[in-house]
Structure 1
Amino acid sequence: MATTTASNPSLAQKLRGLSGEAVKFGVVGLSGVVVNFAVFWICINGLHLASLRSNIAATLIAIFTNYLGYRYWLYRDRDAASRKREITLFLLFSGAGMLIETGVLGFSVYLLGLDSHFEQLAAKVGGLALGTVFRFVSYRTWVFTAVPEPVTETPAVQDATAAPAGAAAVVAQAELLLAAERVRLAKAE
């Protein structure tokens, strides 16, 4: 089974795709951060809950809103055939991210003694940053898996007059024609 360069994107193309994905992940994540901090602030100031309880409540609400953004905007083109598996993994990795965030907050409040509201917010920012990196890698790797591209088999040696098999073969032939044209133009100069 032969593969073409059209089916294997270059490193630059992969990085461009990853940067676009990271920006969209950031937009959804930023909306989750706004929800998270707003609920956290209401819980510690308005409801006078303990900081760890406030953090868990705020993070759970943000996880719900983020799932909607990830599933229906960022990763809408990803495989959704096994939604039960996706939701289970999303909740598992989101819970692990919440433990990272809550662990940093608990460490700063209970071990370092940083317990003013603004110190708690600063610890929450640090924990959220660590949890976000973990979530980004987890979501894109295991939760929202890419739909596998169909593989077309092309003969290793193909007659130049034979009809191309599939879009990948058409692209490969077009690239060969362009390369031959460049060589012809270079010789003419």
Structure 2
Amino acid sequence: MKHRARPSRLTLLIHELGKFGVVGALAYVVDVLVSNLCHSQFHMEQLTAKTISTIIAATVAYIGNRKWSFTHRARTGVRREYTLFIVLNAIGLGIALASLGFGKYVLGLQGALAFNLFGNVIGTGLGTVFRFWAYKRWVFLHPDHPRAVSGPANQRSARVPEPAGR
């Protein structure tokens, strides 16, 4: 029987970052398209457009991260995970809105370029760094975390090994 070595923490981090990046890229495209559609076609105020697009993109990101990016991590239940996911995305949205508001209200920059630069590049970029850290810390837990084995979703065993190659 061939024994597979467990991946190193760095290898696992690289795989998670890569998958998180792919899911994030898809969610980013959804965010940018929806925010621009809401703002330019439906004439919504910039902060409202960004809020709506972030909610839709966050749902896309949750599904992708739960089903693919962090699939090897322990489960603690959809209700707990999604609630935390939404709270953390609200903080990420606050980061994006603060950036957008800074560009618009402090610097006085208007127009599509400023909207996209401050709302969809800088704000989303800073929010993404926060979200990756926060998801790993609070939403998609390591299998050894005490909460990971306390919920009904993880009654298989007290320790769930992380598969090699993920």
Residue of structure 2 equivalent to 1:38? 33
Structure 1 Cα separation of the partners of residues 65 and 46 of structure 2: 27
TM-score w.r.t. length of structure 1: 0.71
Q: Aligned AA for 1:93?
A: L
Cα distance, 1:77 vs. partner? 2.3
Do structure 1's residue 127 and structure 2's residue 136 form an aligned pair? no
Question: The residue matched to 2:43 in structure 1 has which SS?
Answer: coil
Structure 1 Cα separation of the partners of residues 53 and 81 of structure 2: 22
Cα distance, 1:14 vs. partner? 1.3
Residue of structure 2 equivalent to 1:108? 103
How many aligned positions are there?
142
- The counterpart of 1:76, out of the listed 55, 71, 74, is 71
Structure 2 Cα separation of the partners of residues 86 and 66 of structure 1: 13
Cα distance, 1:97 vs. partner? 0.4
Q: Which has the larger radius of gyration?
A: 1
- The counterpart of 1:67, out of the listed 62, 69, 72, is 62
Do structure 1's residue 136 and structure 2's residue 132 form an aligned pair? yes
Q: Aligned AA for 1:133?
A: V
Structure 1 Cα separation of the partners of residues 111 and 78 of structure 2: 41
Q: Aligned AA for 2:93?
A: M
Q: Aligned AA for 2:138?
A: W
CA contact (8 A) 2:30 2:56 kept: yes
Do structure 1's residue 90 and structure 2's residue 85 form an aligned pair? yes
Q: Aligned AA for 2:159?
A: P
Do structure 1's residue 147 and structure 2's residue 143 form an aligned pair? yes
Gapped regions of structure 1 (runs ≥ 5):
1-5, 152-189
TM-score w.r.t. length of structure 2: 0.80
Question: Alpha-carbon deviations, 1:33-76, whole Å to 9, x = none?
Answer: 00000001101110011110110011110001111101111112
CA contact (8 A) 2:143 2:159 kept: no
- The counterpart of 1:18, out of the listed 10, 13, 19, is 13
Structure 2 Cα separation of the partners of residues 17 and 81 of structure 1: 20
- The counterpart of 2:42, out of the listed 43, 47, 51, is 47
Q: Aligned AA for 1:84?
A: R
Identity in percent: 37
Structure 1 Cα separation of the partners of residues 52 and 78 of structure 2: 24
Gapped regions of structure 2 (runs ≥ 5):
145-157, 161-166
